[in-house]
Amino acid sequence: MLIFNSNQKSFYFFFLVFFLLSIGVYQNSSSKHFDKLAIVLSSFIFVYLISSKFIKDKYLDFIEFFNVKGLFLDIKFLNLFLLIISITLIILDMVVLGGPPIVKALSSSNLKSFCDIRENIHTDSSKIFVYLSSVNIKAILPFTLFHFIVLNQKKIFIPLILLAGLYGFSMMQKSFMFSFFFPAISYTLIQKKWILSISLSFILLIGVFSLTILLNKYIDDEEIVKVPSNQTPFLFRLSKGLIKRVVIVPGETISQWFNVIPEKKPYLYGDGYPFIAKLRARKYIDYSKELYPILKPNYAKKGLSGTVNVASFVREYSNFGYLGLVLGGALIALVLVFIDKMFLGYGNFYYSINLFPIFLFSSSSILTILFSGGWFVFILLFFIFCKSYNQQICAE
């Protein structure tokens, strides 16, 4: 008999993400696209149930896999190496960029120059360095902070918290702040380290609110509720706008993509994936950029360019139509089944490592999240270093 159980955490959390997406879709287009959502959800449930049943209900022993002779003899050396790598990449990033991008952006005299700096921070950097910077931001630095908090090494993690906060702020991206602090915040909440958890949350919120306030100085943000300041406090409007971005906007974006494809833009039939387009000797087409003028016409008229990121399964739809919805739901299910199997016996760490990436399914490709988004690297680092943790901490 196929049933769900408490070890299938990813299933329930994806259901929550999907529910939030459905709210945004309904708000934008009523029930017009619910048939498409039903296909994704049906595919996800079916594949998750079947694969959970037939993939052995036993987690892979990644600890033994990484237990290479001598690898764990000197954990102090590994800790130092991890710390040096993460900090070195931050320093190199600042050197390559010629200083914090936020400083350059604040000297901008107009909206377009400000947005150009923000959207093209690494335009002149090599592809290898862009990848290293991305992996450090989304995996190495967040793991380093998380790792030393688990080890309770205050002399290291307290300065690292401040460095991460300043680095995230200087790069002008609110998502970086969440990448840095979410694993540590969720872990400290689970371990009931209330003071540390509140401190981390405070730094995160200060960074996010400060960036939003500074960006709104230049950008007439269409997602922030526009009510005269004498009627509604600015912080209330700001908070409401941020909540809308999290709860409503991802679903609205899904609906907008569905409205455009294939009515205004054709299915790509694989050309929306770089590796498939290359194999077919065809030009790669990135709809997240091509749809920007259509979905953000007011910004486009001002000469701005950008991307319109969308939920993982919509990428499959833009390539293969309704079949893509089936494939998208199945791919998410397979990945999440392996995640659940992998973290059996490591329940206290599951939430810290996996919740934020699963939430990002609402606005990014699952393959991007796994590789460019640093999820795979974070998991890899966890299983390399997990032997240095107290096993009681690892257990559920």
Instruction: Note the pLDDT of residue 223.
Output: 40
- Centroid of chain to Cα 54: 29
In a domain, 237, yes or no: yes
Contact 255, 25 (CB under 8 A): yes
Contacts of 54 (CB under 8 A, 6+ apart): none
What's the rounded mean pLDDT across residues 359-380? Answer: 91
- Give the C-alpha distances (Å, rounded to integers) separating 199 from 155, 188, 209: 16, 10, 15
Q: What is the pLDDT of residue 285?
A: 93
Q: 383, 66 in Cβ contact below 8 A?
A: yes
Q: What is the pLDDT of residue 217?
A: 64
- Residue at 88 is within a domain: yes
Banded model confidence at residue 50, pLDDT cuts 50, 70, 90: very high
pTM for the predicted model, two decimal places: 0.87
In a domain, 93, yes or no: yes
Span of 138-142, 339-343, 350-354 with lowest mean pLDDT: 339-343
**pLDDT digits over 1-35, tens only?**
445 566 789 999 999 999 999 999 999 999 999 99
State yes or no: pLDDT of 65 exceeds 70: no
Say if 50 falls within a structural domain. Answer: yes
- The more confidently predicted of residues 7 and 82 is 82
Collapsed DSSP state (helix, strand, coil) of residue 395: coil
Is the predicted pLDDT of residue 67 greater than 70, yes or no?
no
- pLDDT over 90 at 45, yes or no: yes
Give me the pLDDT at residue 11, please: 93
Q: Which DSSP helix (H) or strand (E) runs through 325?
A: helix 322-342
pLDDT at 227: 43
Higher local confidence (pLDDT), 161 or 77: 161
- Residue 251 burial by CB count (10 A; 0-12/13-18/19+): exposed, middle or buried? buried
Confidence of residue 63 (pLDDT cuts 50, 70, 90): low
Residue 19 lies in a domain: yes
- Over residues 202-217, the mean pLDDT reads 84
Q: Which two tokens stand for residue 212?
A: 């939003």
Q: Does residue 188 register a pLDDT over 70?
A: yes
pLDDT score recorded for residue 105: 79
Residue range of the domain that includes 378 = 9-394
Place of tokens 């680092």: 381
**68 pLDDT more than 70:** no
Segment 347-372 shows an average pLDDT of 91
Q: What is the pLDDT of residue 303?
A: 74
> Which range among 216-220, 244-248, 290-294, 297-301 shows the weakest confidence by mean pLDDT?
216-220
**Residue 74 pLDDT class (50, 70, 90 cuts):** low
CA 317 → CA 108, 111, 329, distances in Å? Answer: 39, 34, 10
Assess if residue 4 is contained within a domain.
no
Whether pLDDT at 210 is above 70: yes
Q: How confident is the model at residue 226 (pLDDT cuts 50, 70, 90)?
A: very low
Kindly give the interhelix angle for 174-190 and 141-150, rounded to the nearest 10 degrees.
Answer: 20
The model's pLDDT over 235-266, given as tens digits with 9 standing for 90+, comes to 677 777 778 888 899 999 999 999 999 999 99
Q: Which residue has the higher pLDDT, 322 or 395?
A: 322
Across 46-69, average pLDDT: 68
Q: Mean pLDDT check: name the lowest of 166-180, 217-231, 235-249.
A: 217-231
Residue 222: predicted pLDDT: 39
- pLDDT, tens digit, 9 for 90 and up, residues 114-157: 777 777 788 778 888 888 999 999 999 999 999 999 999 999 99
Contact 41, 324 (CB under 8 A): no
pLDDT confidence of residue 392:
47
More confident residue, 6 or 395: 6
Q: Is residue 190 part of a domain?
A: yes
CA–CA distances in Å: residue 44 to residues 14, 93, 224, 258, 313 = 10, 39, 33, 19, 10
Half-sphere exposure of 124 (CA within 13 A, CB side): 7
Residue 2 lies in a domain: no
Q: Answer with the residue of higher pLDDT: 310 or 346.
A: 310
Question: What distance in Å separates the CA atoms of residue 62 and residue 386, rounded to the nearest whole number?
Answer: 10
Task: Give mean pLDDT, residues 294-299.
Answer: 86
Q: How many domains does the chain have?
A: 1
Report the candidate in 318, 313, 306 with the shortest Cα–Cα distance to residue 332.
313
C-alpha–C-alpha distance, residues 307 and 321, integer Å: 21
